[in-house]
Amino acid sequence: MKFGLVGYPLTHSFSKQYFESKFQTLGLKDFSYDNFPIEKIEDILPILQSDISGLNITIPYKTSAIDFLNEIDDTALKIGAVNTLVRTGKYSWKGFNTDEAGFKKSLQNWMKGYPVPGKALILGTGGAALAIHYALNVLGIQSSFVSRGPGGDFSYENLTNELIHEHLLIINATPVGMEPNREGCPAIPYDALTNNHWLFDVVYNPANTLFLTRGEQMGAHTKNGLDMLHLQAEQAWFIWKSYGKF
């Protein structure tokens, strides 16, 4: 059976290595996983029409991929983004969002035993940000989007020290700081961070982004997105197994 990852670019992704290792460990010799770096979402059509059984979707197509599906899971529909697709028939596909469950579990494991922050800032408004917003709402944490353009609750220019003090959980849901551009970081007032702040970065390569490093310098708790990646990937694998019956 064939699986793969759709996005652009894909130089940052560990998914291929992750699933190929899983196939080898489970002795699934006829299973394969390939990367499909496509420059526009319309190029997903021949992939969907091939003999592939399941797909992971990453930036920048988590929202636009919905238009190519026959069905969508209720949670993914509410989020407005998908990151896992499964073939349900010869010409039909269903979309799911496993980012939400992966982030939620990762956050809960990380903050276990600590008071849950009442407010959070989500940096970005893309597919990952939408899933994180949904997860935080489930956990009872009020969250606001920060964006460079329209669509956010705050712009980066509007982020005052007071706002940072009010929001003790800050999540980078953008690719800023990801390899090969590790010198970048979101433009927030890092000097306003304290040891009461929690900084979560969905980026996992490099393991310690500049966003996290600058948070650590101010005493903040920090976590990268590798655990979230593993958790959402396992959920995707569960979905593929459920529909593929293998």
**Enzyme catalytic residues:** 62
Rounded to an integer, what distance in angstroms lies between the CA atom of residue 30 and that of residue 24? 10
Backbone dihedral region of 203: left (phi > 0), alpha (psi from -120 to 50 degrees) or beta?
A: beta
Structure tokens at 130: 């939408």
Strands (E), the chain: 2-7, 32-37, 54-57, 71-72, 84-89, 92-96, 119-123, 142-147, 154-155, 169-172, 198-201, 221-223
Query: Smallest Cα–Cα separation from 95: which of 60, 54, 123?
Result: 54
| Residues β-bridged to residue 172 | 123, 201
Q: Which of 89, 111, 83, 120 is nearest to 231 (CA)?
A: 83
Q: Strand pairing of 84-89 and 92-96?
A: antiparallel
Cis peptide leading into 186, omega within 30 of 0? no
